[in-house]
Amino acid sequence: MNKNDLQQSIESAGTCCTKENLKSASDICLYLGFASIILSIFTWFTASRQDPPHGERFGIFIGLWVPSFFILSNRLSRLAEEMPDSE
């Protein structure tokens, strides 16, 4: 998919994919990434008290969300920057 196809698909999506909405979604994903780090550490220590192997695995599972949120935040931010300014 080239840039023109992407731009056309964004324009056809309607008003939900505005520059401001993409930037807001990018910020939300960034905050969720940092929240996932904190939640992962919290889960690791609290769930490990009752069942250590389960707590460790669940903490690692939540920690795997972090790169996904950061990558999604970066991509949404780049899409917002590539969009033309609405008039």
Q: What is the pLDDT of residue 67?
A: 96
Nearest to 23 by CA among 85, 73, 87: 73
SS3 assignment for 19-79: HHHHHHHHHHHHHHHHHHHHHHHHHHHHHHHHCHHHHHHHHHHHHCHHHHHHHHHHHHHHH
Low-confidence ranges of the chain (pLDDT < 70): 1, 6-15, 86-87
Q: Which pLDDT does position 7 carry in this prediction?
A: 67
Give the pLDDT score at 4. 75
Per residue in 37-60, pLDDT (tens digit) is 999 999 888 887 778 888 888 889
Give the C-alpha separation, 28 to 22, whole Å: 10
Q: What's the confidence (pLDDT) of residue 14?
A: 57
Q: Quick check: pTM over 0.85?
A: no
pLDDT of residue 46: 87
| pLDDT score recorded for residue 50 | 76
